[in-house]
């Protein structure tokens, strides 16, 4: 992806963004959903509308996308996607509002609608060697060890990450391993049913899974499961170094970039984190990924966002 000046030159007008959305919406060329004609004409007075030349049926270039019925100029949406994609730390709604000259509520909505479009392909499952564990996020700091019982105001985040051998001395914390792909989700509770469902959804059968000794990881017969009894809590980072580094990174991002995230919006933020993490080697293409998702994913309403509705297909 180009630098920001070239990006703004390319997508700095409403017409340029409409053309880009049309290409994403109809990658093989326009095709009428009613009569299957491939001929259309563009409305000058309503530039987001294409009419079928054969039957006259009207098609909005933003219908069925996260841009549906937006009153915000499309160049601001495109620039928001660029800014969200190109900063590996992500950006806050406050930053987006300042950079785009928008009200905070509008910038917040745009950011969440773009996040709503993100999801990893479920056909690409984690494989080989996996570390998995859960952590708490949010709420007040609790004294003592509460085990897996969910504390008031806290969310349970589960992370599964591929554990790969690193070049000598170049692994996490100077160790022998680095992270491959990862999957992350918020669980209502750390039960065997919830953990097993998460694993089966995101991990290939016969994959080697390393967990702690928690009983919630039982009944994983289709996997090569190696539970490690941690003993003292501080042993967890030594036995599962990769997943615990990811816990630290996720919490730093949530608390640093976004200054804390409420439980009802946490799944959508984690969706962004996972999508960005799994494409960390393709940062220049991230804007294209994000725009393609936004152009092919139905929107979510502001009321649904405020209510904390789960994204369709959310884990």
Angle made by CA atoms 239, 241, 244, in degrees to the nearest 5: 115
Instruction: Please give the mean pLDDT across all residues of the chain.
Output: 90
Q: Is pLDDT above 70 for 188?
A: yes
What was the pLDDT predicted at 141? 65
pLDDT digits (tens, 9 = 90+) for 112-134: 999 998 877 777 999 999 999 99
Residue 186 CA to residue 174 CA, distance in Å, equals 30
Which residues lie closer than 8 Å to 172 by C-beta, 6 or more apart?
166, 178, 179, 241, 242, 245
What was the pLDDT predicted at 314? 45
pLDDT band per the 50, 70, 90 thresholds, residue 52: very high
Q: Are 120 and 127 in contact (CB under 8 A)?
A: no
Q: Is pLDDT above 90 for 176?
A: no
Mean pLDDT for 176-189 is: 94
pLDDT band per the 50, 70, 90 thresholds, residue 179: very high
The CATH architecture annotation of domain 129-264 reads: 2-Layer Sandwich (3.30)
What was the pLDDT predicted at 252? 96
Q: Is pLDDT above 90 for 144?
A: no
Which residues lie closer than 8 Å to 78 by C-beta, 6 or more apart?
7, 11, 17, 20, 291
Q: Is pLDDT above 90 for 68?
A: yes
Q: What percent of the chain is predicted at pLDDT more than 70?
A: 90
pLDDT digits (tens, 9 = 90+) for 216-264: 998 899 999 999 976 555 566 678 999 999 999 999 999 999 999 999 9
Q: Are 224 and 206 in contact (CB under 8 A)?
A: yes
What was the pLDDT predicted at 315? 42
pLDDT digits (tens, 9 = 90+) for 71-90: 999 999 999 999 999 988 88
Q: Are 212 and 239 in contact (CB under 8 A)?
A: yes
| Residue of higher predicted confidence among 123 and 145 | 123
What was the pLDDT predicted at 308? 85
pLDDT band per the 50, 70, 90 thresholds, residue 146: low
Mean pLDDT for 18-38 is: 95
Q: Is pLDDT above 80 for 145?
A: no
**Widest distance between CA atoms in the chain:** 72
> Could you state, in order of their start, the residue ranges of all structural domains in the chain?
4-116, 129-264
């Amino acid at each position: 992806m180009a630098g920001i000046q070239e990006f703004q030159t390319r997508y700095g007008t409403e017409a340029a963004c409409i053309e880009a959305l049309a290409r994403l919406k109809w990658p093989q060329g326009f095709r009428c959903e009613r009569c299957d004609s491939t001929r259309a004409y563009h409305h000058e007075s309503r530039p987001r509308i294409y009419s079928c030349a054969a039957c006259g049926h009207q098609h909005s270039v933003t219908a069925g996308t996260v841009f549906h019925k937006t009153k915000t100029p499309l160049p601001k949406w495109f620039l928001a996607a660029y800014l969200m994609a190109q900063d590996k730390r992500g950006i806050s709604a406050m930053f987006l509002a300042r950079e785009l000259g928008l009200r905070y509520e509008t910038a917040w909505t745009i950011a969440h609608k773009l996040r709503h479009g993100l999801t990893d392909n479920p056909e690409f499952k984690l494989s080989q060697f996996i570390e998995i564990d859960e952590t708490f996020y949010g709420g007040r700091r609790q004294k003592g060890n509460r085990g897996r019982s969910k504390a008031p105001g806290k969310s349970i985040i589960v992370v599964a990450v591929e554990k790969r051998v690193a070049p000598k001395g170049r692994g996490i914390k100077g160790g022998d391993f680095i992270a491959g792909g990862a999957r992350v989700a918020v669980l209502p509770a750390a039960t065997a049913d919830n953990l097993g469902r998460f694993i089966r959804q995101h991990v290939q059968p016969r994959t080697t899974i390393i967990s702690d000794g928690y009983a919630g990881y039982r009944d994983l017969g289709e996997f090569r499961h190696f539970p490690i009894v941690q003993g003292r809590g501080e042993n967890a980072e030594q036995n599962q170094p990769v997943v615990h580094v990811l816990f630290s990174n996720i919490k730093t991002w949530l608390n640093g970039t976004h200054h804390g995230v409420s439980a009802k919006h946490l799944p959508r933020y984690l969706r962004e984190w996972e999508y960005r993490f799994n494409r960390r080697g393709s940062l220049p293409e991230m804007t294209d990924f994000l725009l393609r998702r936004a152009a092919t994913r139905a929107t979510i309403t502001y009321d649904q966002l405020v209510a904390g509705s789960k994204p369709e297909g959310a884990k």
